[in-house]
Amino acid sequence: MTLLRVEDVHKSYGDEEVLKGVSFEMDRGDVDVLMGPSGSGKSTMLRCINRLTEIDSGGIWLDGTPVYDPETDVNELRQDVGMVFQDFNLFAHLTALENITLGLKRVLGVPEAEATERAADHLAQVGLAAQADSYPAELSGGQQQRVGIARALAMEPKLMLFDEPTSALDPELVGEVVEVMRDLAERGMTMLVVSHEMGFARSAADDIHFLDSGRIVESGPPEQLFQRPEHDRTSEFLTGLQ
Ligand code: ADP
Ligand code: MG
């Protein structure tokens, strides 16, 4: 039941090779966390999965579909991959509800009334039923990020990508976002998460992949990576996080 297969992916920007042969697989329902120093290629790896960035060689398959096959429709692919960004990326001139209905109506062609109903359900799921008519500026960072998650979920993706979803938040707001992510994991969503939140990784991750200078130097379940890291780079990095 492989949902995502990443095989020997290479990517350069100019003469800087940013991904140097990255391979890993996720089964449906898996939650994998990608950790590693700034500049190690984490965001680039995520962006290659939905072709916001193009790979140079190797291959990526989503639910059996070759992401880089010329026959593959990029727009259809992107509907299957939800993405949550560090800086929320909400439309400032739209309410929380409208931020969610927009994609449903424009991309999926869902009629207005049904889009509103579905968006309201997704807002309720992230605990924001009462904020449907609020604009992003009226919401806390944690609430904005929960709208971002609800917006991605509303498209009913097969895979959710999170790129440091809590790192722009004040510390006291991290918990509510992590809670929503943990809930999503428990409901069986397949999630690939770039995050250094040890609490989330420990409690929700099936596997952690440690990326260093464009290579996965170590992969394994949290207890193994946190307690018995095999590589000095992993152990140095994790020590720095505590
Ligand atoms: P991380 O998310 O782990 O911090 P990134 O994937 O953002 O790492 O970046 C990896 C490397 O690629 C960095 O050296 C960064 O400067 C470079 N890089 C990322 N995006 C671009 C781009 N669009 N153009 C040129 N270089 C880039
Ligand atoms: Mg990054």
Q: Tell whether the model's pLDDT for residue 190 goes beyond 80.
A: yes
Amino acid at residue number 105: K
**Ligand 1 pocket test, candidate residues 18, 38, 46, most atoms within 8 A of CB:** 18
Question: What gap in Å lies between CA 107 and CA 223, rounded to an integer?
Answer: 41
Confidence of residue 242 (pLDDT cuts 50, 70, 90): low
Q: Output the DSSP codes for 167-217.
A: TTS-HHHHHHHHHHHHHHHHTT-EEEEE---HHHHHHH-SEEEEEETTEEE
CA-to-CA distance for 28 and 49, rounded, in angstroms?
A: 16
- Record the pTM: 0.96
169 φ, ψ (degrees, to nearest 5): -95, 150
Residue with the two structure tokens 């609020």: 134
Q: Of all helices (H) and strands (E), which one includes residue 2?
A: strand 2-13
Mutation test residue for ligand 1: of 9, 44, 52, 211, the one with most atoms within 8 Å of CB: 44
CA of 43 to the centre of ligand 2 (A): 4
Residues 42-95 have pLDDT tens digits of: 999 999 999 999 999 999 999 999 999 999 999 999 999 999 999 999 999 999
Q: Is 17 helix (H, G, I), strand (E, B) or coil?
A: strand
DSSP conformation letters of 127-150: T-GGGTT--GGGS-HHHHHHHHHH
